[in-house]
Structures are given as structure tokens and as C-alpha cells.
Amino acid sequence: MGDSTGHKHKHLEFTLAAVSELSSSSSVSSSSTPVIARFSADDGVAALRFHQGSEFIDGFNVDLGTSQLFKLGPLQSLCVSESADTNKEKSYSRGVSIRFRNEEESRDFHSAFEQWQMESKGTHLPNGDISVSKSKFDNKIEPSSAKMYFHYYGQLLHQQNMLQDYVRTGTYYAAVIENRVDFTGRVVVDVGAGSGILSLFAAQAGAKHVYAVEASEMADYARKLITGNPTLGQRITVIKGKVEEAELPEKADILISEPMGTLLVNERMLESYIIARDQFLVPNGKMFPSTGRIHMAPFSDEYLFVEIANKALFWQQQNYYGVDLTPLYGSAFQGYFSQPVVDAFDPRLLVCPPMCHVLNFNEIKEEDLYEIDIPLKFTASVGTRVHGLACWFDVLFNGSTVQRWLTTAPGAPTTHWYQIRCVLSQPIYVMAGQEITGQLHMIAHNAQSYTIYLTLSAKMWGPGAEQGGIIQTSSCKLDLKEPYYRMSQPQPYTMAQDQQPHQLLQAEDIPPIHTEDLDLEELELLQQPSEPLGAQ
């Protein structure tokens, strides 16, 4: 292996255990002749090529300027490349699976990949240094998504919507003011400051100085609001720009932010929060919030299931102005079920005690948020049809004086986040005491959100179950970026869930859709203890 990743050393090589392309069954192993991954900058284009012996492996060439590398395991990584079709919206169309011989070589390869990619997107200065033309945010986020995101949060009406979420704003205010000891005389960085309200709270709590970092046009409104509160504003500096690009004159003793999106991780601002921690926070500094938990439980809701299924009835028309629409019915049906449902639901719809997945913001790495894998295991409390997985989150403000939780749990006062439900197009049947297993797998994409893969399975139940296996399973793929915003308050359920209302389409009448082609708090409010799955 070479001794430098700079372009002045034209090549850098790694010996691999194996390499394969996901879109085909072809795989190349180094059992006989070693497989070599070679970084090169021929003709000024940074690329990754694969060789076996003296032969170039055709079809495995990777353009580092349009690729991303994901770590799937200690010895396994996935390199995905964008489509070369510039007439279409950017999409990652090729994938190369790479297996390493040991963990050290895996770490070195990832480091080299990042360095070469940085150089491929930068310009060289006369002294040999590199001026990177894009920030880390720009390299991983689609420009059109970022433009829409910052435009949205640059409008006062959307800031008002968040400020008027009194559960959110009131909890932040209480967490700060009740923990004055953490803020008095300290330097604070407000990550994604928005209107500047959290910066003003920190100043009220006695902060020595607050740096409010905001990338959208809201930074100008924040300056105006802070100037209008001169007693507090004299200790607040607004910095307009992305946190990934910001430079501060001093380190922070405490970070404060509201980086949570739907299902905690939507909009991918948690990554910016973690980057700010690494760049600005002193060792052992505090983070408000410091911990996030994603709570999950299977639910049963015939009303919701039939409501979604009925949306596709339009496509069952056989004579729509002389056109038969039924060939598109199956695609439309699956399309509606690919939307996560955002609403506030009755916690009595849950059929199992919830479990939770913990994200420790003090320790988690930014890369850990690129792909989140949560094994699921529940025990049904009742016999019913399970229609999917309900999710919500809470975050902890671990102050020195008071610990305070902000929860979005069903049954708690409704927030602007509501809750979210992933609905299966094929429900599964369970009996009381039956075990439900599965997986919630979330992969970040460049539209500042996640693709969700959900699988739920019902295991053998009753005498002899130990010798049995899975008897039912159902899967779905959803885009967290494109939810179905259903309603703002829990709908009253006056009928038993096993009773069908009079509707256009009864659940049992819905034709089966083949799924084999799919890609794969306060807890007292629920009166159900959450079982921590583990911290990332």
C-alpha cells in the first residue's frame, strides 16, 4: 500500500478479500489472485478501479466525484454511484460491495476514500493545499432539497408554527431556565438557531455569550428579534451559514439545538448537530438535548388500513373515458402504502408494550446516522390483526439540576411532530402471547430523509412453538420524505377494532398484492414500560 493519499502520488492500492456488483451476480474473490482496489487521478479525474492480477475488472470503475461509501459491517462496505444520466433527477443507480481482509484495512480504505473524494471536489492552490469547493453538507445533500429546506425554514409563518407548539417551546424553556447552573457564565452555540428563541433562552439563563448559527434567511429575522431585546441581545452573535462551514472564535461549553424531525431523524439535522459537537464543543461539554429515543410498537387500526386501501379504488375503473385503468391498480395500491402516516393516534391501538432504540448524542458518530438498523421483538397483548408499526420519539435534557424529557408519545399532549405509523399492505394475524419479530431498517438519502424498510413476522404460537418458526411475514418500503399527513388530533374510536364500519371497501375484500418484488415520555402515559434495545 502507498504512503500518501495526495494526488502527487498518482496511485494508492488496497488488497481486498472480494468485490462484487449488486446489480449482477458477478463476484470476484482473491482466493487465487489478489483483488486490488486502486485509487488514481489519471487525466485529472479521481477514480477507484479494481484489478485482478494485471487485468482491469471491467464494469467496476467508480467515479469518486459522484459516489458515496457506506460501512455495512467491520469487514463489509458498499460503494454507490450516481446515474450518469444528467437529464434525470440524481439517483444512486450502481452499487459495488467490497469485503476487506481485516478491520484495519477497512478503516484505512475509508480514510483514503474520503480524502480522495475531498480532493476530487476541491481545487489545488499554488502551495499544494486544497480549497474544498463544497462543505460536508453540500457533498451529501441534493441542492434542490437543501434549497427547499432552507426556504421553508426561512419563513416566519413556519417558525410561528414551531413557536406555537407550546409543548416543544415550553419544554425547552423549562430545561434551560431550570438548569441555570449549566448556562451561567458559559459559552453556548445554538445549532440551527431559526428565530433565535433558544439563544434568547440561553441568554436569560445567564450565558456569557451565545453564537446562533443559522443557514436560512431566518438569520436576518433572528438578528432583528435579538436586536429588539438589547439586554439579552448584547451577548448573542448571529452567524449566517451552515454549521458545517461556520468558524467560531472560541469553543462552546454547551450546545443547544432543536434538530429533531419526524421519527427523530427526518431532515437529517441530527448529523449537523453531531458535526457541531465535534467542531465546537469542549471535552465533557453539555448537549441540550443529550439523548434521543425512538419508540416502536405494532398497532391494529382497521379504519386506517381501509382508508389507505380505498384511495387506490380509482384505478379499478375498467371504463374511464373508454380506458381500462386496472393495469395500474397494483402500483397505485403499493404507492399509497409507501407513505408513512403522520397523525396523532389513540394509544389503545397498540397491541404490544413498546420497545425503544437509543441514540446517545454525546457519543454517536455522524456516520452512524447514515444507516440505522433496529431488530424488533414484541409479545402481543391481544389477539388481533396487526396493520403495521407505530413510532414516536422523545429527547432528554440532562441538566445538572433537573432532567427533563420532551415526548411525542401517543396520549401525551400533541406536538407538531405528531406520531408516525408504517402501514403494511398485508396485515398479519396474532394471538395474545404470540411473539412478533422483525426489522426496521432506515437508509439515509440525499433528499434529507430516509428510505424505510419494515418487516414484521408472527412466530409459531402455542404448544410446541419452540420447534416452530415464522408462520406469517409482511414487508413494506416507505419514503420518510413523502408522508401522508392525516389529521391533527386522535380520531374517536367508538366501535371495537374488530368491528367493521360501513365503508366502500371491506378489508377482507382487498385483493392480495404480491410483495416479493419490493426492495428490501414519558412511558407512563402509555402505562407500558419500554424495553431499551441498546445505544448506538
Q: Which of 214, 267, 271, 521 is catalytic?
A: 267
What are the DSSP calls for 13-42, one per residue? EEEESEEEETTSS-EEE-SSS-EEEEEE-G
Q: What is the DSSP pairing of strand 341-343 with strand 484-485?
A: parallel
From 214, 244, 258, 521, the catalytic residue: 258
Distance separating alpha carbons of residues 251 and 341, to the nearest angstrom: 41
> Which residues touch 299 (CB under 8 Å, ≥6 apart)?
345, 349, 350, 351, 386, 387, 388, 389, 390, 421
Within 10 Å of residue 8's Cβ, how many Cβ atoms? 8
CA 197 to CA 173: how far, in whole Å?
A: 9
Cell of 231: 439586554
Instruction: Mark whether 267 is an active-site residue.
Output: yes
Residue 230: HSE in the Cβ half-sphere, 13 Å Cα cutoff = 0
Is 302 part of the annotated catalytic residue set? Answer: no
CA gap 496, 424 in Å, rounded: 21
Q: In angstroms, rounded to a whole number, what is the distance separating the alpha carbons of residues 239 and 243?
A: 9
Residue 391: in which H helix or E strand, if any? Answer: strand 384-398
The three grid cell numbers given for residue 51, joined into one nine-digit string: 484489478
| Per-residue cell: 483 | 408522508
Cα–Cα dist 505/526, whole Å: 32
d(CA 462, CA 457): 16
Residue 400 burial (CB < 10 Å; 0-12/13-18/19+)?
A: exposed
Cross-strand bridge partners of residue 297: 390
**Residue 526 parent element (H or E):** none
Calpha distance 399→207 (Å, rounded): 15
Q: Going by DSSP bridges, is the β-strand pair 67-71/76-82 parallel, antiparallel, or unpaired?
A: antiparallel
Whether residue 425 contacts residue 476, with contact meaning beta carbons closer than 8 Å, is answered with: yes
Q: Is the Cβ–Cβ distance between 18 and 29 less than 8 Å?
A: yes
Residue whose C-alpha is closest to residue 106's, from 11, 8, 18: 18
Q: Which residues contact 98 (CB under 8 A, 6 or more apart)?
A: 16, 18, 19, 37, 76, 77, 78, 79, 109
Q: Of 465, 389, 480, which Cα lies nearest the Cα of 433?
A: 465
Query: Residue 145 and residue 130: Cα distance in Å, rounded?
Result: 27
Length of the chain equals 536
What is the dihedral angle through the alpha carbons of 121, 125, 130, 136, rounded to the nearest 10 degrees? -50
Catalytic residue IDs: 258, 267
